[in-house]
Amino acid sequence: MKSGSDASVRHAFVPAGRRERRSARRRFGHVVEDLLTEVGIGEGYKTRQRFGLDVVGYLLSEIGLGEAARLLVGALDAAQIPSRLVNVPLPGRQADDRLAGRLAASDKHAAALSIFGLIDLRTFADRASRHQVNIAYPYWELPTAPSSVRPIFDRFDAYWAPTTFIRDMLTAEQNRPVRLIPQPVRLSPRPPPMLTFEGPLRVLSFFDYDSVMTRKNPLGAVHAFMAAFPVVKSDVQLVIKARGNLRTEAQERLYELIERDPRIVIIDETLTREGMDALMASCHVFLSLHRSEGFGLGCAEALASGKIVVATNFGGPRDMITPATGYPVAFRPVRLAPDDYPESEGSYWAEPDVSHAAEILRAIYDRPAEAAAKPRAGYAYLKANHSFEVVGTRIAQALRELDQSTVRKG
């Protein structure tokens, strides 16, 4: 409807009562429903758009949220769910064009899924279409929500959570339905080969300067490595993969530490997907001494690659890093100061036990065969819970349930 206002359309075509509404539908047939769908009004009417899902996110960006969105598209493809891809531009951070040829290539579907960091809830809510069921798939690294988003939670119809950590936060903080839809992960059809330990034991850790360095805590990884292996031990190596534009005092401290130890190498550049895969393949251990993670894509990718994972036992990684699949690192909860993390007032995160992490690294070095058995269990866990096929099936079921219900938009 290009002419007239929503108000005039509502006055002309939306009867006040149920009996009048039935009468109007008999008189005008499908014209009324088509019009209501077009302008996005008509309380009690079920959307008449096609089954499927619009995916809205940073689909061309190399950041973690971009990869999360692309992986969700992979799950939709595996389940043969029709999709329409809508990229949200991220200037200066659009280095992944694998889905560029599929952007907005079809009409809208009945539901739209927006993938974003929770702090950007308002931005993505403003993009949401009143013509669709709007589902949020937010990432957040703290057990409480930012105060700025609490008044606008209801602008989405439902929430899907990639981890139990995020599910529990959403359930506690708002009233819309919450469903656990695990973040999908790329997996090979067969388990990766058993680790071999020729050459130095190589430990990999990575972080993004633009993702609040104190949360990723690369300094903790360096301290744990140096505590585990005195400088005289030459058959070990720590590789730190960094990227991003923001430079801080923490980065300077990191470089000062690295300069003291020639066994520590930093790769400070953006790599292609193939480059990241090759880097992961070259290492034995993935070390994440994060203070919190919403999901922990690095941990998941490491497990999928058959690597030993050592990770703080807090946040999203707790779903997949257990004593059976890897090495959870002890921590103590720490109240956040106002400058520690954006909109973190009153919340907390983890301070990983560096000495415990060092003990784990030494144990892996001393008993590599025992450590190498854990990634097999990790792969099996991912296959059962995070494969494209499993997540795609869960999404299809969730969409069928939406399609069978009447969505009231107000």
pLDDT digits (tens, 9 = 90+) for 265-308: 988 777 888 888 899 989 999 999 999 999 999 999 999 999 99
* Domain with 300 in it: 201-385
Quick one: 297 and 381 in the same domain?
yes
Q: How far apart are CA 133 and CA 400, in angstroms?
A: 12
Quick one: 339 and 207 in the same domain?
yes
What pLDDT does residue 247 have? 58
* Helix (H) / strand (E) containing 287: strand 285-288
Least confident range from 22-26, 303-307, 312-316: namely 22-26
pTM: 0.83
Quick one: 155 and 287 in the same domain?
no
Residue 297, SS3 per DSSP: helix
Quick one: 312 and 172 in the same domain?
no
Residue 40 belongs to some domain of the structure = no
* Helix (H) / strand (E) containing 394: helix 388-403
Residue 9 belongs to some domain of the structure = no
Quick one: 399 and 379 in the same domain?
no
Residue 147 belongs to some domain of the structure = yes
Quick one: 243 and 306 in the same domain?
yes
| pLDDT over threshold 90, residue 242 | no
What pLDDT does residue 58 have? 97
Of 11-25, 83-97, 195-209, 355-369, which has the strongest mean pLDDT? 355-369
What pLDDT does residue 246 have? 53
What pLDDT does residue 142 have? 97
Quick one: 350 and 250 in the same domain?
yes
What pLDDT does residue 211 have? 60
Average pLDDT over residues 82-91: 94
Quick one: 173 and 278 in the same domain?
no
Residue 235 belongs to some domain of the structure = yes
Residue 192 belongs to some domain of the structure = no
Q: Which residue has the tokens 């972080």?
A: 207
> Tell me, what amino acid is at 231?
V
Closest CA to 402 of 50, 43, 138, 22: 50
Residue 131, SS3 per DSSP: coil
Least confident range from 130-144, 254-268, 332-346: namely 254-268
Residue 194 belongs to some domain of the structure = no
CB 262 within 8 A of CB 227: no
In degrees, rounded to 5, the angle at the alpha carbon of residue 121 between the alpha carbons of residues 116 and 122 is 135
> Average pLDDT over the chain, rounded to whole?
85
What pLDDT does residue 271 have? 80
Residue 270 belongs to some domain of the structure = yes
Q: Which residues are 207's β-sheet partners? A: 242
What pLDDT does residue 209 have? 63
* Domain harbouring 342, CATH code: 3.40.50.2000
Quick one: 140 and 62 in the same domain?
yes
The CA–CA distances, whole Å, from 386 to 108, 186, 319 equal 27, 8, 11
Quick one: 321 and 348 in the same domain?
yes
Quick one: 376 and 229 in the same domain?
yes
Q: Which of residues 245 and 371 earns the better pLDDT score?
A: 371
Residue 206 belongs to some domain of the structure = yes
Count: domains in the chain = 2
* Domain harbouring 78, CATH code: 3.40.50.11930
Quick one: 341 and 226 in the same domain?
yes
| pLDDT over threshold 60, residue 43 | no
What pLDDT does residue 256 have? 81
Contacts of residue 27, defined as CB under 8 A and 6 or more positions apart, other chains included, come to none
Neighbour-count burial of 409, counting CB atoms closer than 10 A to its CB (0-12 exposed, 13-18 middle, 19+ buried): middle
